[in-house]
Structure 1
Amino acid sequence: MIISKSFFLALTTTISVLHLQAQKGDVEILFNKPATDFTESQPIGNGRVGAMLFGHPVNDCIALNEISIWSGGPQNGDKDSAYMYLKPIQNYLLQGENGKAQQLLMKHFVANGPGSGRGKGADEKFGCYQTAGDLIIKWKDATPNVSDYKRTLNVATAVAQTSYRRDGNAIFQEAFADFKNDVIWIKMTSAKPGKLNFDCYLDRKESVTSNEANGKEMLLLGQLSSGKDKGMKYAIAAQIVKCDGEISASGKAITISNASSCVIAIAMRTNYNYTAGGLLTVDVEKTVQNDLNRCSKKDYNSSKENSTTIYQSYFNRCRLTMPAKNELTINRLTTMERLIHFSEGKMDVQLPVLYFNYGRYLLISSSRPGLLPANLQGLWAVEYQTPWNGDYHMNINVQMNYWLAETTNLSALAQPLFQFTNNLVENGRKTAWKYYRAKGWVAHVIANPWFFTSPGEGARWGSTLTGGAWMATHIWEHYNYTKDKQFLAKYYPVIKEAAVFLESILIKEPKHGWLVTAPSNSPENQYIKPNGFKGSTCMGPTMDMQISRNIFEATIKAAAILHKDEVLANRLKTIINHLAPNQISPTNGGIQEWLDDWEAVDPHHRHVSHLYGLHPYDEINPWDSPDLLNAAVKTLELRGDDGTGWSKAWKVSFWARIGDGNHAFKMLKGLLTPVSNDGVIKMSSGAGSYANLFDAHPPFQIDGNFGGVAGMAEMLLQSHGKNNVIRFLPALPKDDAWKSGSVKGLKARGNFEVEFDWQNHLLTTATIKALSGGWCNVQIPKGKGIYNRDRKK
């Protein structure tokens, strides 16, 4: 069918459109006690600044974050002589001497120096994402009688609230991250006059140069380390914007006495250069002061209204709704109680919907155009040494963070990923030359705001050489979803040079004459050779070859659209036909993970990298490669359903692409397994959700949240493959909880926006809006609902 730019195609039956209203159960996270850990806190953020609210009625903590607070700094992470060892390493691999190849690689083909510090690089040049510090609120009465305690985070409004009775008096606290004024707001009120009596102060455990209060303001200044040198400067400032009680300052604290209402604004800044990396010569103290001066003239309620309007302009673009059941019971339960309830097999239709809405909330709150991408923890950290440095892992994690951006109508929020990828190119060219004497650019596994592109410091994980190319495929996918030709022209060189690098380094393996990458590895997994050698270093791991086909195909198509590089495109077309193909293991019937049919050291490994061709790429599918699809099913069965958070999230998308909605839902249930830090509720399989629905990797890692949402979107709508086919409900579970529902604002490739309803597991109405015009084909599940009706307009 051809759809004009303004035409809405509606597929209807006699069944009426569902009118489903969102309930609190699908937009509200609920607690009945203060947080004892940040995984029980209420996270808020606006893409640059964030906070986690603990809600303690005696000694409260508001943990603060700013997306660019990183220790470390620019460095030369490359070994200048690495290229001299490339051919010897490759020759060993060609001769089957993988042990000798790996030994040589570990000596001469890893990062120069400590690299990431093996995931603990806070005091190294690589650096570490860190907490900004805390705002502490210490009440004068330390032994109150507290009752009627309640905390909520509403993901439809991006506002966190805490309420309780303190010695019979109602206390109410509200907080939000301002999307317009770029600060954190805290408002506290007392039902009885004069009952707000507390000290408040800013606190940070290290790298502080000054911390003092004066008048109505608190100011904390500091400078982080960059290895042995001084690095990034930062400032945190808080101001009592409005208070009807007495205010006094002493040392680093402000005392509030006999107040009924108090409004606090918190500003945070660093001297990081978002455009080009490195540090700016700016006065961070003056910058936060300007933020507070601007806020001092603002009204709290109007600021909240304006911020919510901006937030909802993103959030409301896509909404999933499913009719509530047991609503009276569910709405009385805290979110942790709901997780327990759900894990016991009890009905909670709204919990997966809340998870979907929450994941989108987290992306809106941690990714803003012009800034850094969401990192391993999004925006939220309480540590000075975050797990794995809170960095950008490019062997799946940062990519998974942005899978939901295109499908759930948040394309604009992926801009930080594209800008970051573009900023990797300059260093990536140097790394490509020093290690491979290759043209183009490369980034391996780990990256930071200083644009580190060198290999990691270990063979098992650090040598994967397709991280940058994988990042570049997101640029191509963004074009597929938006049809923004100007965007494609801007970032085309990033795609092209990633392809040129891979073209430059391919070698011919001896058994079949296929072109393969070398040296590389299959992310974080190990093989066992027939001679018993256990290793990581290899040539042509399956994921590398799939990514190579993906980026070559993207370059060919982009070049044709932009009328560029015909010679390169023709060359790549030829090379694609000679790349090592996907292979089915004669031993176990699954997709081979390596070029040879080797056994995995860990057959249940969390990475399932050799199914990149199933998702996010689409070369393994039922219409082009049914045999490979069956092998992919076997691979997943062999891998098993257990895994870390992001691993289970990826498996949701895998099973959705296969078309098995029941198994996809099983994996989603795994993500919704309750996990508690106090050990009361124990994990059985290494993943689940904490009380605030943060993903339990473990520890907390936000890619599981984002990947879970992306998987749910794949269950409801798919548009990969040839001919712009939009597939409705391709993996809808048969579970009664998914019997009926409604979704609006999902995006399909080709820049189509889709809205539809279903009842009794059958599609009832669908509307497709062609935002760029053009063709689309529609595939609808068989049944008594709409099915394969030919319509043209």
Structure 2
Amino acid sequence: MHKQHSDNKDRLFYRSPALQWEEAFPIGNGRLGAMVFGDACSERLQLNEDSLWHGGPRDRHNPDALAHLPEIRRLIFEGKLKEAERLASLGLTAIPETQRHYVPLGDLFLNFEYEADREIMDYERELDLSEAVVRISYKAGKVKYRRQIFASYPDGAIVIRLTADAPGQISFTARMGRENFRYVDLIRAENGNSIVMSGNSGGGVNYCGLLMCKPEGGQMRTIGEHLVVANADAALLVITATTDFRDPDPESAALANARRAVSRPYMDMLASHTEDYRKLFDRTALRIYGEPNIKEEDTSKRLQNMKAGFEDPGLPALYFQYGRYLLIASSRPGSLPANLQGIWNKDMLPAWDSKFTININTQMNYWPAEICNLSECHKPLFELIERMIPNGRRTAQVMYGCRGSAAHHNTDIWADTAPQDLWLSSTYWPLGLAWLCLHLWEHFQFGQDEAFLEPAYPMMKEAAVFLLDYMIELPSGELVTCPSVSPENMYRLPNGETGVLCYGPSMDSQIARELFQACLAAGEKLKIDEDFLAALRHSIEKLPQPRIGRHGQLQEWLEDYEEIELGHRHISHLFALHPGTQIAPEKTPELSVAARRTLERRLEHGGGHTGWSRAWIVNFWARLRDAEEAYANVAALLTHSTLPNLLDNHPPFQIDGNFGGIAGIAEMLLQSHEETIHLLPALPKAWSNGEVRGLRARGGVTVDIAWKDGRMQMAVLKPDRKGSYRIRCDQQVRLSVEGIVGEPKRLDEITLSIEAEAGIETVILAHPDTPL
């Protein structure tokens, strides 16, 4: 494999500061996030702390839910949708109906002082993805100024370094605030070198955000709530923040952390930050070679050029690495999971509350975690699932009279599992926890760590037990959920009545099958729970199979209802294709054709109009191994649903499109869900030359692939454990294998079986001049 060259540096680069939030640079260390604007005269960092949410925990369960459940079910089965939905809106809706919402920490403002006649020239700003550092440089008069800004995981702080190429040139005033200073509880200067901002968030967490400064030379003082530095040679600023969600005394904790950080030499902080970050980021690299028609370093210009129809093969590769950067920045061990906006929210009442939306969006955030070699970043999600389980038990019992544990389509910092909102098409869907628990199984499949599986399996079992109790047996013998919805779509009955509440939506049966199979495999692996596993085997046989409707499409509901919104953003009934494993071209050819028709119908009627929906479509086409359609939707994601700073645009900003998009790019290059490591399953013509290093396959295998002229040249596999591995390459060429004991076994023209040793690289070479 080729080494990374300096001219392929992973960076976002601009020749002007951000004029709006959607142009700023995101930085983060899991707990602390900031958007860096980079104005030469007036810098702004918009700040977040992951546990700063409005309000505290509550029991919102509707006490009348269980009593009215039989009647709601009866009305649904009788086709009286309006009556069922009216009763559900009264009896199933939580009290109050909304969960808690995420709020910003605030802003840091730095106002710089220059001589009046100094013109700002030679401005540049970059986000260096290889080091997770923002760099800003410009000239004011004859003086060259530089800023370096990063969010350090080891130091638990955001660090700003201000320098100039002449002595005594650093002069500024610093101030902190929340929402134009409207939402500040308490703020004060401290010890002549700090600003402390603290308060309580709507009766929930107590918080503290702190700025501490250490100048080199010059003078520093505080006046009111301002910190003033004059004529310094350089300055180090450190931002820390916490809440009593983790620390009983947030101010003492933030202050102690800031003191620790500023006591360290800046270069030591930078070195520990980059070393920690690169341990994750450097595992994987993607290069797509080819000259763009118009060379342009400015990232926003590259995006505009692609919108104008010019090819830029390197931009999807940059987007891929940017997505990995964002996951590292927003989800680290010890932090909360990435929410709807990652860790970057500017609004006191954000869109959709910036919570954890678990009917697709939170799950999509973690699709790239395993395949893109960021397994540690998955852990905050597992901790949230663990906290949801006890709350979900109460939801299952109080609302539905069931054992096990359940959650609906949203949760929050307090792991709330009661229904969210009074929005008929989404609120009454009780499979959020069931889907989330599949991430536990995914993590095991990629890592094969039984020590992880032992505590994970009981959580999976809780979600499965709920479904066993919740499902109803139809006269046909099939088991279905009821009430439920197909998120977030509407259908029409033959009698003309429209509605959303239903029994047995396709997605529910697909999730149930996937979860039951995962629990079976986990239980058999751990050699436990035989009675429960027997119940699962019995129930799996009664789950409805995917069905093909009158348009040749995969049915979204158990019955072939008429769909109201043909271009709907949710394509829930293709769960079995992705992220599920029940539909695949060879295994289920008829269902694969129906899945294709489903995608075509959605796109023909304007589907994919939100960023996350388009990202899911990329993954669907990749699983169908349609390289050109997958690429067309990657291009559409970049040109129609990507902001100037490459963040995803729903609109407004949601981070799930970034994460779903890079998962789709990875699926185009490597798949392993069919117990086979499939090399380049959906490589488009636009990416005819390139290489990827460090992707992960299920079974615990790290994979590098290089290709030229659209054909694989070499793959390097490094398994964590000794074992048998199936390798597939669709090009019918002779493959030779190095680094294994014994001869590979050819299973068919495109599939090999090899015996590989733990930690030993297995090299697979393609010989295009020697066809089979």
Bin the TM-score by the shorter chain.
over 0.9
**Residue 790 to residue 556, structure 1, CA distance change in 2 (3 Å):** closer
In the TM superposition, residue 152 of structure 1 has moved relative to its aligned partner by: 0.3
1:217 corresponds to 2:193: yes
Deviations 1:650-700 (A, max 9, x none): 011000000001110111111111xxxxxxxxxxxxx41111101011100
Whole-Å separation in 1 of the counterparts to 2:366 and 2:82: 37
- Alignment pair present for 1:623 and 2:576: no
Give 1:217 deviation, angstroms: 2.6
The letter for the 1-side match of 2:684 is: P
- Secondary structure of the corresponding residue to residue 449 of structure 1: coil
CA distance in 1, matches of 2:258, 2:614: 43
CA distance in 1, matches of 2:463, 2:400: 13
Alpha-carbon separation, structure 1, partners of 2:684 and 2:79: 46
Alignment partner, residue 193 of structure 1: 167
- Report the counterpart of residue 779 of structure 1 in structure 2: 728
Match of 1:40 in 2: 23
Report the CA distance between 1:545 and its aligned residue.
0.5
Q: Is the CA contact 1:71–1:232 (under 8 Å) kept in the aligned structure 2?
A: yes
In structure 1, the residue matched to 2:770 is: none
- Find the counterpart in structure 1 of residue 268 from structure 2: 302
Q: 1:451-600 alignment to 2 at 5 Å?
A: 451-456=415-420, 457-510=422-475, 512-585=476-549, 587-600=550-563
Q: Which residue of 1 aligns with 2:740?
A: none
User: CA deviation digits over 1:404-432, x for unaligned, max 9?
Assistant: 00101111110100110111011100010
* Structure 2 residue aligned with 1:12: none
CA shift, 1:193, in A, is 2.2
- Partner Cα distance (1:356, 1:538) in 2: 38
Aligned residue in 2 for 1:683: none
Deviation string for 1:306-346 (max 9, x for gaps)? 1101000000111112225259x53x431110001112222
CA positional deviation for 1:220: 2.9
1:720-759 paired onto structure 2 within 5 Å: 720-721=673-674, 724-735=675-686, 738-759=687-708
1:635 aligns to 2:598 (yes or no): yes
SS at match of 1:165: strand
Between the aligned partners of 2:693 and 2:112, the Cα distance in structure 1 is 46
Instruction: Return the TM-score normalized by structure 2.
Output: 0.93
Structure 1 counterpart SS, 2:553: coil
- Partner AA of 2:676 in structure 1: V
Percentage of pairs with the same residue: 37
Q: What is the letter of the counterpart of residue 200 of structure 2?
A: L
Q: Which amino acid is the alignment partner of residue 268 of structure 2?
A: S
The CA distance in 2 between the partners of 1:99 and 1:789, in whole Å, is 56
Alignment match of 1:156 (pick from 111, 130, 134): 130
Q: Distance in 2 between matches of 1:791 and 1:514?
A: 41
Task: Tell me the secondary structure at the aligned position of residue 776 of structure 1.
Answer: strand
- 8 Å contact from structure 1 (residues 245, 259) kept in 2: yes
Q: Distance in 1 between matches of 2:451 and 2:508?
A: 29
Task: Tell me which moved more, 779-788 or 453-462.
Answer: 779-788
In structure 2, what is the Cα distance between the partners aligned to 1:142 and 1:272? 46
> In 2, Cα distance between the equivalents of 1:51 and 1:74?
26
Does the 8 Å contact 1:219/1:237 carry over to 2?
yes
Could you tell me whether the CA contact under 8 Å between 1:443 and 1:454 is conserved in 2? yes
Residue 244 of structure 1: how far off its partner (Å) = 1.7
Query: What pairs up with 1:256-295 in 2 under 5 angstroms?
Result: 256-273=229-246, 282-295=248-261
1:623-702 alignment, distance < 5 Å: 623-640=586-603, 642-673=608-639, 687-702=640-655
Residue of structure 1 equivalent to 2:140: 166
Amino acid in structure 1 at the alignment position of 2:172: F
Q: Which range is displaced more, 169-178 or 538-547?
A: 169-178
SS of equivalent to 1:83? helix
Residues 698-729 of structure 1 show CA distances to partners (whole Å, capped at 9, x for unaligned) of 100000000001000100000012xx211000
Find the counterpart in structure 1 of residue 361 from structure 2: 397
CA distance in 2, matches of 1:142, 1:92: 75
Per the alignment, residue 206 of structure 2 pairs with: 233
Between the aligned partners of 1:628 and 1:650, the Cα distance in structure 2 is: 18
User: Following TM superposition, by how much is the alpha carbon of 1:766 offset from its aligned partner in structure 2, in angstroms?
Assistant: 1.0
Please give the secondary structure, in 2, of the residue aligned with 1:711: helix
Deviation at 1:785, TM superposition (A): 6.4
Label 1:20 to 1:665 Cα distance change in 2 as closer, same or farther (>3 A).
farther
Does the Cα contact within 8 Å between 2:215 and 2:232 map onto a contact in 1? no
1:215 to partner: Cα distance: 4.0
Q: Deviations over 1:187-223 (max 9, x none)?
A: 1112222222211111123443321223443333333
TM-score, length of structure 1 as denominator length = 0.90
Change (3 A) 1:89 1:149: same
**2:94 matches 1:129:** no
Alignment match, 1:717:
670
Contact 1:717 1:729 in 2 (8 A): yes
Q: Please tell me the root mean square deviation across aligned C-alpha atoms, in Å.
A: 1.6
Larger RCO, structures 1/2 (Cα 8 Å, 6+ apart): 1
1:85-164 aligned within 5 A: 85-113=68-96, 115-116=97-98, 126-141=99-114, 144-164=118-138
Consecutive unaligned residues of structure 1, counting only runs of 5 or more, are 1-17, 117-125, 274-279, 674-686
Counterparts of 1:755 and 1:241, CA distance in 2 = 45
Is residue 724–residue 754 contact of structure 2 (8 Å, CA) maintained in 1? Answer: no
CA displacement 1:526-582 (0-9 Å, x = unmatched): 111122212110010000010000111111111111111111111111111111221
Counterpart Cα distance in 1 of 2:523 and 2:82: 41
Structure 1 contact 460–523 (Cα < 8 Å) conserved? yes
> Deviation of residue 138 (structure 1)?
1.1
Is the 8 Å Cα contact of residues 469 and 495 (structure 1) preserved in structure 2?
yes
Question: Counterparts of 2:344 and 2:680 in 1: how far apart (Å)?
Answer: 34
How far off is 1:378 after superposition? 0.5
SS of alignment partner, residue 778 of structure 1: strand
What is the one-letter code of the residue matched to 1:630? V
Q: Which residue of 2 aligns with 1:68?
A: 51
Is contact 2:724–2:753 with CA below 8 Å preserved after alignment?
no
| Contact 2:408 2:427 survives alignment (8 Å) | yes
Q: Secondary structure at the match of 2:102?
A: coil
Partner of 2:656: 703
- The separation in 2 between residues aligned to 1:783 and 1:173, in whole angstroms, is 53
Give 1:762's match in structure 2, choosing from 711, 736, 756: 711
Whether contact under 8 Å (2:723, 2:755) holds in the other structure is no
Is the CA contact 2:100–2:413 (under 8 Å) kept in the aligned structure 1?
no
Find the aligned partners of 1:311 and 1:495 in 2 and give their Cα distance. Answer: 31
Q: Are 1:346 and 2:310 matched, yes or no?
A: yes
Q: Secondary structure at the match of 2:579?
A: coil
Contact kept in structure 2, 1:208 and 1:220, CA below 8 Å: no
Q: Distance in 2 between matches of 1:778 and 1:96?
A: 50
SS at match of 1:314: helix
Separation in structure 1 between the aligned mates of residue 163 and residue 79 of structure 2, nearest angstrom: 72
- SS in structure 1 of the partner of residue 54 of structure 2: coil
Cα gap change, 1:531 to 1:25, in 2 (>3 Å): farther
Instruction: Confirm or deny: 8 A CA contact 2:608 2:617 kept in the other structure.
Output: no
Contact 1:20 1:321 in 2 (8 A): no
When the two structures are aligned, how many residues end up with a matched partner?
Answer: 735
The change in CA–CA distance for 1:484 and 1:60 in structure 2 (over 3 A counts) is same
Distance, in Å, in 2 between the alignment partners of 1:451 and 1:573 is 31
Gaps of 5+ in 2: 736-749, 757-772
CA distance in 2, matches of 1:359, 1:657: 20
1:333 is the counterpart of 2:297: yes
Segment drifting more, 389-398 vs 366-375:
366-375
Aligned pairs (5 A) from 1:175-194: 175-194=149-168
Aligned match of 1:607: 570
